[in-house]
């Protein structure tokens, strides 16, 4: 017998994404963020979630998608990670859908770059393609770029 699991769906840049609902702690509306100096560009900032500081990732940047409209008020999909809650900025939250893993297919060849590492598979739904994200890899921040090495100054005679 094929088991089904609930998946939380959301939209980002016109694409439909999903995460296994067991990885999602909660969904919240737009909140003001505090910027974090020197943080990687994928870190949008910190938010206060009932007295707890939560790191917020810009999922558009994490997936190398174009920026959203300047006046957008994204929602938060808060994940439960081993390091504590982590929020993903999304355009809008969808539904919770029961899916069978037997319906999943590997990501299409057209999915390249960092997105290929973050997508577990795809599932054809009526009218759209659902991209299933791997919560463990989405939560891992890419390493910061290496600092440029200073050029040695020639010895003076």
Residue 42 predicted with pLDDT over 70:
yes
Distances (CA, A) of 127 to 16, 66, 83: 11, 23, 36
In the prediction, which pLDDT does 114 show? 80
CB 120 within 8 A of CB 34: no
pLDDT computed for residue 115 by the predictor: 79
Residue 80: half-sphere exposure toward Cβ, Cα within 13 Å: 7
pLDDT value for 2? 72
Tokens representing residue 3 in the block? 């088991």
Asked if the model's pLDDT at residue 150 lies above 80, the reply is no
Average pLDDT for 43-51: 93
Residue-range domain boundaries for the chain: 4-139
Q: How confident is the model at residue 78 (pLDDT cuts 50, 70, 90)?
A: very high
What's the number of CA atoms in the CB half-sphere (13 Å) around residue 122?
15
What is the β-pairing status of strands 4-12 and 43-49?
Answer: unpaired
Q: What is the pLDDT of residue 151?
A: 57
Enumerate the H helices of the chain as residue ranges. 59-62, 114-118, 135-139
State the number of CA atoms in the 13 A half-sphere of 88 facing the CB.
34
Provide the CATH number for the domain formed by 4-139 in this structure.
Answer: 2.40.50.180
Rg of the chain (C-alpha set):
18
**What is this structure's pTM?**
0.84
* Residue 109 pLDDT exceeds 60: yes
What average pLDDT score do residues 32-57 get? 92
Confidence of residue 59 (pLDDT cuts 50, 70, 90): very high
């Amino acid at each position: 017998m094929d088991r089904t699991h609930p998946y939380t769906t959301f939209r980002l840049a016109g694409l439909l994404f999903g995460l296994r609902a067991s990885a999602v702690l909660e969904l919240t509306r737009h909140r003001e963020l505090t910027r974090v100096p020197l943080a990687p560009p994928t870190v949008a900032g910190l938010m206060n979630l009932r007295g707890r500081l939560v790191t917020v990732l810009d999922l558009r940047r994490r997936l190398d998608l174009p920026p959203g409209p300047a006046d957008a008020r994204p929602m938060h999909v808060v994940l439960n990670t081993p390091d504590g809650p982590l929020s993903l900025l999304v355009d809008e939250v969808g539904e919770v859908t029961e899916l069978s893993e037997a319906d999943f297919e590997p990501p299409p060849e057209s999915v390249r770059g960092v997105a290929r590492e973050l997508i577990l598979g795809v599932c054809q739904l009526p009218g759209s393609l659902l991209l299933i994200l791997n919560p463990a890899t989405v939560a891992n921040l890419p390493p910061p770029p290496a600092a440029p090495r200073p050029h040695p100054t020639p010895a003076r005679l």
